[in-house]
Homo-oligomer: A and B are copies of this chain.
Amino acid sequence: MDQVRTAIEVEKVQILPAENDDHGGVVVKLEEHMDSDVFLTLLKTSMSQWTIQGKKGVWIKLPTHLVNLVEPAVKEGFCYHHAESDYLMLVKWIPKTTNTIPANASHRVGVGAVVLNHKREMLVVQEKNGILRGKGIWKIPTGVIDVGEELFDGAKREVKEETGIDTEFVEILAFRQSHKVYFEKSDLFFVCMMRPLSFDIQIQELEIEAAKWMPLEEVAAQPSAEKESLLKYITDLCIAKVERDYSGFSPHPVTSFFSDQPSHLYFNKKEN
């Protein structure tokens, strides 16, 4: 065995800085500027090493200022995985076994907030931008969930930002899935029932044209709220909630195998 060992040339090779991930792969994170030829040489050496070591997925995260390294990575067989405004993530699967690279994010998640006061008036807004601009339609405050944000926190934040009203979360009344909302991506929209904790409206000038408390029946009777429109369903569910004890889904903290971050399971707690 000693003879075999000495027959192998041991040489220190320079490879790209990488961290192991939890799935038998490595993640390359670069920050400093690097010449694309230097990068290509290091990448080839690194891939040989990682192949010998039995690594599976190799991830390369390239911040925007390292855009010169995108082309060499693609030429070495890397695929795009996902991108955010400030970085591009590329990936290559080394083994011949089934590729278990996780799917890219497919959905954008939004919330709408149903806020009702004690006079059965709903908090509604008119937006300055977007598809409903200038149409005179009153709608519930809505917005997109921030990265890592809980649905109930997102709903509370949007109401506060758009109208200045403080609220607490009651439950999810309903949700809607839509497809091809932009390019090929889908959308999940959660309708949240919120209890108002304050009542004086202060609108956000940038996005909101107007905001007011409007009788529930007036919201429902708007010309836009025709058959099959979401606003009609929302007002119906809201009336059901007020009058007939409708049960939506409430959050409960749970653990998850897949994340150290707190998760929430939303379900109908009425019968539990």
Known: A87-B80, A272-B236. A105 touches B107 (CB 8 A): yes
B104 touches A106 (CB 8 A): no
Q: Which residue of B lies closest to A104 (CB)?
A: B84
Q: How many copies does the complex hold?
A: 2
Known: A80-B64, A104-B84, A108-B104. A268 touches B245 (CB 8 A): no
Q: Kindly identify which residue among B70, B106, B145, B272 contacts A70, using a CB–CB cutoff of 8 Å.
A: B70
Name A's B-contacting residues (CB within 8 A): 64, 67-68, 70-71, 74-75, 79-89, 98, 100, 102-109, 129-132, 144-145, 147-148, 150-151, 173-188, 206, 228-230, 233, 236-237, 240, 244-249, 252-268, 270-272
Give 23 pairs: A residue, B residue, CB < 8 Å, sorted on A. A64-B74, A67-B70, A79-B85, A80-B84, A81-B85, A82-B83, A84-B104, A107-B109, A131-B258, A147-B186, A148-B186, A175-B266, A176-B254, A176-B265, A177-B263, A181-B259, A229-B255, A230-B254, A233-B254, A233-B267, A236-B272, A237-B272, A246-B268
